[in-house]
Amino acid sequence: MTKTNEQKNAEYITLLEQNGFAPNGEEINGRLVYARRWSKQVEVLWYGKMESSMEIRADIDRGYPLISIFKDGRFQDRRGHTSPKRSINAMREIVRFAGFEF
């Protein structure tokens, strides 16, 4: 049995909240956007310490989870996934690959 879009939306929002995402007050076409930010101090050659950050913003459109990735405040990529669980797993890998802890 396939899930309706409303069921997928509710599942995705629940997964986002369980993984530390919170509404950031932004809306896209009436859909609330959830976001989470990671930051750390890194040592840069000939410069010294500076802060590196990563932010993921997530929303869902017609049952398809969408994520936007920002690195140091700059937009990097926008991706869509086929299910809420795949989206969360993809976020974990993206964050891990960038050197942050999910």
Task: Tell me the C-alpha distance between 21 and 36, whole Å.
Answer: 5
Model-level pTM?
0.87
Give the pLDDT confidence of 58-98 residue by residue, as tens digits.
998 888 899 999 999 999 999 999 889 999 999 999 999 99
